[in-house]
Amino acid sequence: MTTNEPDRDRPEGLDWSRYENEMTDNVVDLDAARERRQRDDDHEDQDDAAGPVLVDSLEAQRKPKLDRRGAERRPLLPAWLRSRAELRDAVAWAAGYTAHVAAYHALRLPKYAGKLALRSPVGLGRTVGGAMRWLFDLEGEPVRQATVRTENAEQYLHLSRQRDRRVRWRGIVALVVIVTLILAAVALLLAPAWVRWAVLGVAVAVFGLRGAPADRPLLDRAVVGTQVAKLTSDIVVRALSVLGIAGVNQALAKQGNGAITFPAPIVRDGPGWRADVDLPPGVTVGDVLDRRDRLASGLGRPLGCVWPEGNADISPSRLVLWVGDRPMSQVPPPVWPLLKASTVDVAKPFPFGTDPRGRVVTMELPYTNVLIGSIPGYGKTASVQLPMLVAALDPHTELWGFDFKGTGGLDPLARVCARYASGQDDDTAEAGLVALRELRAECQRRAAAIKKLPKDVCPDNKVTPELARRIKGLQWLVAIFDECQDLFAHAEFGKEAGELAEKIIKLGRALGVILILATQRPDAKSLPTGVSANVGTRFCLRVMGQLENDMVLGTSSYRNGLRATMFTKKDLGVGYLVGAADDAQIVRTYYLDGPTVEKLAARAYAARVAAGTLTGQAAGDQPETPATRRETLLEDTLSVFQADEAKLWAETLVERLIALRPEVYAELTRDQLGAALKPYGITTTQVWGTDPATGKGANRRGIDRTAVAEAVAERNRRRGESAA
């Protein structure tokens, strides 16, 4: 813009001659131009005056070429031909459909015959009427009448001659037909009765069909299909435009429908349509997921049919939209493929559920831990039961089960569990804690055992399916903690339980110890972050907020478009499964009712009896109840102090406790003792003592006698109060 202000970048003032030259560029003073260029070089800021600089490389300006190497190859065969299960489903559906339609119409044959008989006179009339019109060329009659009205004699003569010619020929043809029909009637009179009936039947059928009113078809409808509209790009663009996403609306206003592109054709995929959509720049799939209900409304489909997903590998704005023909909750739940299996191999992937397209989704147990979360009543226990049943049906897998809500959801499987407890009380919580301590010790024992194995037997320092089967003590150990929030949030045992669970999750993976945790309160207090951060496989059913969503599915999941908040009231057993495959999957778990679980548990029990692998409680061992241990630990600890000992090393206490009650404390370690006394407010401190082996003095972790005595007194006082 030209102004009257002096040019600020030029101390000498405004360059009048330059502007003059620019205004009158019919005469170019080369010397002045050269001088000007020189001056411009001295003042780099003036470069702008040279006009816009093209910053895109020539390469970038060319039309993009199709990267054939990187291009995704579309499958040769449709999905239903590639999967045996889908093919089976498709064939079963086609057979069932055909059988239904055939049976439906077969039952109505008498009705159809009656209708045909009633309509056949009309049909006969129509046929004869049509023949008469043809014979006398009645179609041409209106035209002939018109020529009479306009008194066009020449035209009338021409048409009359044409009609006479036609009627002559048609008369001959009609005569031949009538004679043929008379001969056929005579032949029919001489023919056997069944031929006469058959001809009569055909005649009635033909004339009945001719006589049908246009709006009343002969056949009733065997199936009443809900007409599912095809998914087209226009419908998708329209639906996206009503979501109220500013980025989409602005792009659509500027570029029209071209602002939303479709990198692949919209295709049939399973029982629905799939559209791959590139949203306008700046809009992410998360924005769309947030408005799934509005998207469904824009598409004019029920919410349960509309399943938007992201494909972050390609771009945060790549939306994969799958629109099913029927809401997921209305599709009959498929039968669990392992329902008939007598035994299962826990090391192999097992069918966990189906995706919205009806494809089987599998989950693996070895080398992972599983976290399942949701608000109450959406299928947590039902989904925990599946891996638990798989572990139970493998007779060589050790199974531990804990249900801290005590509703008995896992009770049918108690008979195959080496350890099992169910209840809302402190004892069950403590049993869970003790189990975690033992699992931690088990991890240490297994790590030591694996270290001792020759390299050629165990090259990766981890339990393999073969080792799990061959070496006693390295069998897969699956431990289930249902409603684990009641343990982790427990005032006395929660903190230690959380720490132990984190350690087991980190260590146990390679050692054949698999933790399965289910919670209905996935928040920081009820699910330690160390636990939620380290679990490999996650399944999140319906939750109400971003925090719970990310606790179960992992940090930033919500931001990346994995939102279990989008599931609705009807989505029972439907959740996001992360970690079981490369991408997150929406899965509806298989559902087994109580009697089915009982049946499978009985089968698992029989398999274990046959294999001789029932251990622990399943083999009839009485578990040492935490109550008895809790009763005695404080007293026992106090009793092993001698009168003159104010403090003792923890290891000395452990030695004395083992000597006192070897059947109870045989496995006790220093750490475990410290952890077990902690809930009573007894902490370990540095204690000076003398090592009996070396006779040297040293500072080690130990316990103060007074603290134990006070804890006993306090407990007795509380007991007295509660008794009163």
H or E element in which residue 157 lies: helix 153-190
List helix spans (H) across 459-564: 465-470, 485-488, 494-511, 529-534, 546-553
503 is in an annotated binding site: no
Q: Site for ligand ATP (CB under 6 A): how many residues?
A: 15
Which positions ≥6 away from 592 have C-beta within 8 Å? 336, 339, 382, 385, 386, 389, 600
378 is in an annotated binding site: yes
337 binds ligand ATP (CB under 6 A): no
Which positions ≥6 away from 248 have C-beta within 8 Å? 240, 241, 259, 260, 279, 280, 283
Q: Report helix, strand or coil for 79.
A: helix
272 is in an annotated binding site: no
Among residues 378, 420, 481, 576, the one that binds ligand ATP under rule CB under 6 A: 378
DSSP 507: H
Q: How far apart are CA 123 and CA 102, in angstroms?
A: 26
Residue 228 or 375 with smaller CB distance to ligand ATP: 375
Residue 277 or 587 with smaller CB distance to ligand ATP: 587
Q: How far apart are CA 47 and CA 44, in angstroms?
A: 6
Give the count of beta carbons closer than 10 Å to the beta carbon of residue 287: 21
| Distance (Å) of CA 550 to CA 29, 152, 174, 495 | 71, 91, 85, 21
| Least distance (Å) between residue 437 CB and ligand ATP | 26
471 is in an annotated binding site: no
Residue 301 or 380 with smaller CB distance to ligand ATP: 380
> 275 near 236, Cβ under 8 Å?
yes
In the complex, which residue's CB is closest to ligand ATP? 573
| Least distance (Å) between residue 375 CB and ligand ATP | 8
379 binds ligand ATP (CB under 6 A): yes
Structure-token pair, residue 639: 């009793």
404 binds ligand ATP (CB under 6 A): no
Among residues 280, 401, 573, 702, the one that binds ligand ATP under rule CB under 6 A: 573
Exposed / middle / buried, residue 49 (Cβ in 10 Å: 0-12, 13-18, 19+): exposed
613 binds ligand ATP (CB under 6 A): no
271 binds ligand ATP (CB under 6 A): no
379 is in an annotated binding site: yes
Among residues 6, 263, 377, 681, the one that binds ligand ATP under rule CB under 6 A: 377
508 binds ligand ATP (CB under 6 A): no
> 515 near 484, Cβ under 8 Å?
no
Residue 369 or 589 with smaller CB distance to ligand ATP: 589
Q: What angle do CA 272, 276, 278 make, to 5 degrees?
A: 150
Residue 585 or 589 with smaller CB distance to ligand ATP: 589
522 binds ligand ATP (CB under 6 A): no
377 is in an annotated binding site: yes
Among residues 248, 347, 572, 648, the one that binds ligand ATP under rule CB under 6 A: 572
| Least distance (Å) between residue 520 CB and ligand ATP | 4
Among residues 301, 446, 509, 588, the one that binds ligand ATP under rule CB under 6 A: 588
317 binds ligand ATP (CB under 6 A): no
Q: Mark the segment that binds ligand ATP (CB under 6 A) among 34-42, 266-274, 374-382, 602-610.
A: 374-382
594 binds ligand ATP (CB under 6 A): no
Q: How far apart are CA 631 and CA 624, in angstroms?
A: 12
| Distance (Å) of CA 673 to CA 437, 527, 690 | 11, 24, 20
Among residues 374, 557, 560, 684, the one that binds ligand ATP under rule CB under 6 A: 374
514 binds ligand ATP (CB under 6 A): no
**What region does 522 belong to: left with phi over 0, alpha with psi -120 to 50, or beta?**
beta
Amino acid at 194: W
485 binds ligand ATP (CB under 6 A): no
Among residues 381, 519, 585, 613, the one that binds ligand ATP under rule CB under 6 A: 381
Q: If you write DSSP's letter for every residue of 220-240 in order, what string do you get?
A: PPS-----PPPP-HHHHHHHH
The binding site for ligand ATP (CB under 6 A) comprises 333, 374, 376-382, 520, 572-573, 588-589, 591
Return binding residues for ATP.
374-381
Return binding residues.
374-381
